Amino acid sequence: MLTKRIIPCLDVKDGRTVKGTNFLQLRDAGDPVELAARYSDEGADELVFLDISATLEGRKTFLQMVERVAAALQIPFTVGGGISTVNDVSCALEAGADKVSLNSAALARPSFIDEASKCVGSQSVVVAIDVKRMNDSWTVWTKAGTEPTGRDALLWADEVFQRGAGELLVTSMDRDGTTAGYDVELLRTLSNRISIPLIASGGAGTHEHVRDAILLGKADAVLAASIFHYNKISISELKSFLHNNNIPVRL
């Protein structure tokens, strides 16, 4: 049986892991390769590395880190953050990443999704969507959640799928960093709507939150950062809990 995936996410700035709350207030959480190896040993199914460096120097450091991760680990990983050309996509995969995650550049120029998936295959193209609730709808935000796009999240998800994305990574900005639980309603709505795998992100605080994202939100994978970085939840304990709740996981 295909198992549900647990994916720790590492935000990397100038070669160090950081994690903010509600997209702000960064705290230092250690060396990314060291953390990644620890997660892999604990049973992480995949990893995501987001480059939040603002400088060219920071980006070079990031690619070097990708090479180190690829050499050190034998599980799949995705890289994202600032990927805006097909060349960026190729560089990331050549450095050893398995997938790239596209966000702002895809919003600015949606045909970028087509280009990327034609070049490296849909299976290597994840599109990340940062979503905020506005009254009765969900809207998409861009540039690390700093600017609203006015786009409806459900319609954007449809388009992303049609343009050839292989996976959808959905972050609830309302929940991100709060440890108040995933936006289950958002997840369920999207999962019922699109036929590519859905990764839930934003809000994990407890074992039960992850269970709910999978059972109620119908997510195929769950991503979390702070709960893993600060040892609030261990991956192995989380997987045992999910297993005991009849969710297929790789133990």
Partner 1 sequence: MIGIIEYGAGNIRSVSNALNRLSVQHFISNEHRKLNKADKLIFPGVGEARSAMDALTRVGLTDWLKEVSVPFLGICLGMQLLFDRTTERSTNCLGLLTGTNERFNSKQSVLKVPHMGWNQVQHEGNYSLFAGIATGEHFYFVHSYYAPLVSATIGTTEYGVRFTSALQQKNYYGVQFHPEKSGRIGLQLLKNFVELC
88 binds partner 1 (CB under 8 A): no
Stretch touching partner 1 by CB under 8 A, among 94-102, 131-139, 145-153, 239-247: 94-102
Positions annotated as catalytic residues are 11, 130
H-only helix segments in the chain? 32-42, 56-72, 86-94, 104-108, 111-120, 153-162, 184-193, 207-215, 226-229, 235-244
Cβ atoms of residues 186 and 213 within 8 Å? no
Residues 172-231 that bind partner 1 (CB under 8 A): 195-198, 220-221
Cβ atoms of residues 227 and 19 within 8 Å? no
CB of 161 to partner 1, least distance (A): 11
77 vs 156, which CB is nearer to partner 1?
77
Report how far residue 221's alpha carbon sits from residue 207's, in angstroms, rounded to the nearest whole number. Answer: 14
Residues that bind partner 1 (rule: CB under 8 A) add up to a total of 31
The binder of partner 1 chosen from 96, 115, 152, 245 (CB under 8 A)? 96
Report how far residue 4's alpha carbon sits from residue 211's, in angstroms, rounded to the nearest whole number. Answer: 10
164 binds partner 1 (CB under 8 A): no
CB of 193 to partner 1, least distance (A): 12
14 vs 158, which CB is nearer to partner 1?
158
b/e sequence 190-210, b meaning 16+ C-beta within 10 Å: bbeebebbbbbbbbbbbbebb
167 binds partner 1 (CB under 8 A): yes
Site residues, partner 1 (CB under 8 A) = 1-5, 40, 45, 70-71, 74-76, 93-96, 98, 120-124, 166-167, 195-198, 220-221, 250
